[in-house]
Structure 1
Amino acid sequence: MNEIVNDKLYETRKELVKEITELSDAQFNTKLDPNKWSIAQVVHHLVLTEEASIKAIAWGLKENVSTKKERKEIQLILLDRRKKIKAPQIVEPYAEPFEVLQILDLLNETRKRLIAFLNTLEDKSTLADKSMYHPAFGELPLDQWVEHIYLHEQRHIEQIKELKFLLEIRQ
């Protein structure tokens, strides 16, 4: 991956951690609406999405055929929170409560796995030459799967900020 993507992955994760570190476990798990996710569930969804993305990228790389697809403007969709995207069942968060420290550990583990996986690639340009089906975007080049991780986190950081604001109003 190029330096810009590495920096975006790092900076976005740093911002996410900053947003949740100071929360109590009670705040972290408070659901303001029975049909909406708690902050803990939002972050668990991010963990599950990163894990699923690693698997999808690995699967896409195993394909012997070059399946290069057109790049898509995923940032326009992901960063516009007015556009709702239903999470596939595989990345829906668990209902049970989480501790902030537990989720921080999960975030660290999945990011270590992602970076370790990406570092095993001898020729990272193959990520642009192959694609894999993405539930929200259809066929997506594998390098955009990596970009999707930090853009998706940015989307949900804004959601977390809104939830924190609403939690402060209710207290």
Structure 2
Amino acid sequence: MLINDKIRQDLFTEVEGLNDENLNRKPSENEWSIKQILEHLYLMEGGIAKNIKHQLQNGKVVNADKKPIEATINREIKVDAPEFAVPTSEFASVEELKMKLAATHQHLLDIENTADEKDLEAKGFPHPIFGDISLKQWIPFVAYHEQRHILQIKEVKEKLSL
């Protein structure tokens, strides 16, 4: 979980000092605000954690090959957010979002710390681009996904002159 902790720290550093007004501003009608990116991240992390937990209890063995999940960082490849992780346009504060991100982060950490290592390696579920990913690889995938969106946050800050 070390990479997840480091990237989460990088994420919080990137939004440090932003007021709630700027956090909720969109650079254009069809682009996400920083608030929406953060909401997407906790929805995604929470959804992945829930799916890992479900697969640990009920999943089948897939013995997925190791995937190049680091490629997730590449923003040239566009992927639509799954329905469960599409953010709303409702106003939210930095503190509120940080609390939600802390909760999903802790949930994923708890699962990793209590799961049987063999189950994490043998079981998995599909990703829309990579195909079957082991539960063990889904954990750092969350960090690479977050790193991808840190780059997006930097782009939004630049467009909004923040």
Instruction: Please classify the TM superposition score into its range, dividing by the shorter chain length.
Output: over 0.9
CA distance in 2, matches of 1:159, 1:66: 35
Within the candidate set 124, 134, 137, 1:144 is matched to: 137
Q: Secondary structure at the match of 1:113?
A: helix
CA distance in 1, matches of 2:146, 2:11: 7
CA distance in 2, matches of 1:136, 1:51: 20
Aligned residue number for residue 14 of structure 2: 19
CA distance in 2, matches of 1:39, 1:160: 6
CA distance in 2, matches of 1:149, 1:136: 15
Q: Mark the runs of 5 or more structure 2 residues left unpaired by the alignment.
A: none
Aligned residue number for residue 73 of structure 2: 79
Within the candidate set 50, 59, 64, 2:54 is matched to: 59
Aligned residue number for residue 117 of structure 2: 124
Q: Secondary structure at the match of 1:125?
A: helix
- Kindly report structure 1 stretches of 4+ aligned residues shifted beyond 4 Å: none
CA distance in 2, matches of 1:62, 1:150: 24
Aligned residue number for residue 102 of structure 1: 96
Q: For each residue in 1:122-165, what CA deviation from the matched residue of structure 2 results, as whole angstroms up to 9, or x when unmatched? A: x3232111111223432211111111100000000011011111
CA distance in 1, matches of 2:88, 2:68: 30
CA distance in 2, matches of 1:109, 1:64: 24
Within the candidate set 39, 43, 59, 2:38 is matched to: 43
CA distance in 2, matches of 1:43, 1:18: 13
Q: Mark the runs of 5 or more structure 1 residues left unpaired by the alignment.
A: 1-5
How many correspondences in the alignment? 162
CA distance in 1, matches of 2:118, 2:29: 44
CA distance in 2, matches of 1:15, 1:157: 8
